[in-house]
């Protein structure tokens, strides 16, 4: 789709729409902008359990926010960035796909950032390209990703979940189910994150040589709940052959085990993490006297990140996407009594790969308070990826028209199905 298909009106914000409830301790305010997009501003409060989010004695009172601009997109049924409930419940499955993260191509159009070496804040890696990487406090970590496939055989292998041709290991989102209304469901067991222990420094100005930096702190993220959301690929002409600019979103609880110099240190839990493959994020958060500011832009699937017009599709980038999410770690969360052992430690899952727990509301009988060691720290998590279609309901969508299958390109042989975390169309004023 071209940018011209969206009614663009130059000017300032059209005004405040509404304030709505969100995660405990977070107030979301929604502003409609004159260009047809909407800003969702999450404000974090001390009273809500974000003790470091309003400055300190040295800097005075501050306001901590994370702002998401939706670029004027909405999902099936007109759902917006803060609409998570399924339409008529999760129904008949229309599509199933999987997404794997890829090594960054350093094309995502995010601002460069001065990254401090974690833990000691020295040295500083100036003007770092943050594509496919995470900001966490003033530090940086590159998201694990598989090698980018360059042949049809590699794509076919990735579609079959065979990643042995890759020298690197990435994250996997498997068995991602989309019903006919565009509702999303992904089981937590089907979300498997790679291990974050490297920052791949690429100087956006080209002055300093690239280098892979082994980090002092490393992270093993994992999902702590099933994911919900919506996916607008149901709006495409056909799920197996679309070349439209499409995207979408998921929400789930997640956690990460922290390791210092390779030794386990702590569990940090982030409820209601929101991950999207569209829009712009801007973090403006205080952790005591430390000011954390960073931004990110998704790259909608099937589009060229080098193009200033983010809506133009490009066959050289078919099936590729960059997605992102942001948040602030609360001081802690309440867990069910059976989440901890006799010593008060969170229990491990049966295969010993990560901790297993249930988040509960304050006041739940027997609930145990879990303190986050990094409470007040903000992050943006970015990843490049490819989505591969595993199944579509042919009785609903019909067979894939062979004439519409994209031709191979010089960068990536197309044939892996839809690209992106999920799909959606741009919001239309007459919807």
**Banded pLDDT at 427 (limits 50, 70, 90):** very low
What is the pLDDT at residue 402? 63
- Whether residue 66 is contained in a domain is answered as no
Q: Does residue 242 sit in the same domain as residue 130?
A: yes
- Is the per-residue pLDDT at 184 higher than 90? yes
Paired with 38 in beta bridges are 32
- Whether residue 319 is contained in a domain is answered as yes
Q: Does residue 266 sit in the same domain as residue 341?
A: no
Paired with 238 in beta bridges are none
Return the HEC string of 367-397.
Answer: CEEEECCCCCCEEEEEEEEEEEEEEECHHHH
Q: Give the tens place of pLDDT for each residue, 217-240.
A: 999 999 999 999 999 888 788 888
Considering only residues 427 and 7, tell me which one the structure prediction assigns the higher pLDDT.
427
Q: Which of 319, 326, 314 is nearest to 233 (CA)?
A: 319
Average pLDDT over residues 109-130: 96
- Whether residue 246 is contained in a domain is answered as yes
**Which structure tokens are listed for 83?**
């609409």
Q: Does residue 358 sit in the same domain as residue 280?
A: no
**Banded pLDDT at 346 (limits 50, 70, 90):** very high
**Banded pLDDT at 39 (limits 50, 70, 90):** very high
Residues 6+ apart with CB under 8 A from 90: 177, 179, 183, 185
Q: Does residue 274 sit in the same domain as residue 342?
A: no
Report how many domains make up the chain. 2
What is the pLDDT at residue 240? 84
Considering only residues 368 and 7, tell me which one the structure prediction assigns the higher pLDDT.
368
DSSP 4: G
- Is the per-residue pLDDT at 406 higher than 70? no
- Is the per-residue pLDDT at 209 higher than 60? yes
What is the pLDDT at residue 367? 97
Q: Does residue 253 sit in the same domain as residue 324?
A: yes
The fraction of the chain above a pLDDT of 70, given in percent, is 88
Domain extent for 253: 87-331+372-404
Distance CA 258, CA 178 (A): 33
- Is the per-residue pLDDT at 418 higher than 60? no
What is the pLDDT at residue 63? 92
Mean pLDDT of the chain: 87
Helix, strand, coil distribution of the chain in percent, nearest 5: 10, 45, 50
Kindly list the distances between the CA atom of residue 32 and the CA atoms of 11, 37, 248, 277, in Å, as whole numbers in the listed order: 12, 6, 20, 20
What is the pLDDT at residue 14? 40
Average pLDDT over residues 53-61: 86
Range from 138-147, 311-320, 359-368 carrying the lowest mean pLDDT: 311-320
Q: Does residue 348 sit in the same domain as residue 325?
A: no
- Is the per-residue pLDDT at 405 higher than 50? no
The fraction of the chain above a pLDDT of 90, given in percent, is 71
Distance CA 141, CA 201 (A): 9
What is the pLDDT at residue 61? 86
Distance CA 202, CA 282 (A): 22
| Residue 176: strand, helix, or coil | strand
Average pLDDT over residues 122-137: 97
Q: Does residue 126 sit in the same domain as residue 273?
A: yes
Distance CA 431, CA 7 (A): 13
What is the pLDDT at residue 428? 34
Distance CA 375, CA 372 (A): 5
């Amino acid at each position: 789709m071209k940018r011209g298909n969206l009614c663009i009106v130059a000017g300032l914000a059209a005004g405040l729409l509404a304030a709505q409830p969100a995660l405990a301790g977070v107030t979301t305010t929604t502003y409609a902008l004159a260009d047809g997009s909407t800003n969702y501003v999450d404000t974090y409060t001390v009273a809500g359990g974000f003790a470091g989010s309003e400055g300190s004695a040295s800097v005075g009172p501050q306001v901590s926010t994370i702002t998401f601009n939706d670029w004027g997109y909405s999902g099936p049924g007109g759902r917006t960035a803060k609409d998570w409930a399924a339409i008529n419940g999760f129904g008949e499955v229309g599509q199933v796909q999987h997404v794997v993260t890829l090594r960054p191509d350093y094309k995502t159009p995010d601002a460069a950032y001065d990254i401090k070496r974690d833990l000691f804040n020295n040295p500083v890696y100036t003007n770092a390209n943050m594509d496919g990487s995470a900001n966490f406090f003033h530090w940086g970590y590159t998201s694990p990703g598989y090698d980018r496939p360059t042949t049809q055989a590699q794509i076919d292998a990735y579609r079959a979940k065979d990643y042995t041709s890759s020298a690197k290991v990435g994250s996997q989102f498997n068995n991602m189910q989309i019903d006919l209304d565009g509702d999303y469901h992904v089981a937590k067991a089907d979300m498997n994150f790679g291990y974050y222990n490297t920052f791949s420094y690429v100087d956006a100005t080209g002055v300093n040589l690239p280098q892979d930096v082994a980090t002092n702190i490393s992270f093993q993220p994992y999902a702590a709940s099933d994911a919900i959301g919506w996916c607008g690929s149901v709006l495409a002409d056909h799920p197996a052959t679309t070349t439209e600019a499409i995207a979408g979103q998921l929400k789930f609880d997640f956690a990460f085990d922290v390791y210092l110099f390779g030794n386990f240190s702590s569990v940090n839990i982030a409820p209601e993490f929101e991950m999207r493959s569209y829009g712009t994020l801007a973090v403006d958060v205080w952790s005591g006297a430390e000011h954390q500011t960073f931004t990110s832009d998704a790259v909608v699937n099937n589009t060229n990140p080098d193009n200033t017009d983010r809506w133009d599709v490009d066959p050289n980038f078919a099936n590729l996407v960059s997605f992102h999410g942001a948040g602030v770690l609360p001081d802690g969360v309440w867990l069910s009594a059976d989440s901890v052992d006799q010593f008060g430690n969170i229990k491990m899952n049966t295969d010993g790969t990560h901790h297993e727990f249930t988040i509960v509301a304050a006041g739940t009988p027997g609930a145990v308070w879990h303190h986050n060691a990094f409470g007040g720290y903000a992050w943006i998590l970015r990843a490049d990826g490819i989505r591969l279609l595993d199944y579509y309901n042919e009785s609903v969508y019909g067979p894939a028209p062979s004439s519409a299958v994209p031709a191979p390109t010089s960068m990536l042989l197309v044939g892996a199905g839809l690209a992106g975390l999920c799909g959606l169309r741009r919001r239309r004023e007459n919807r």
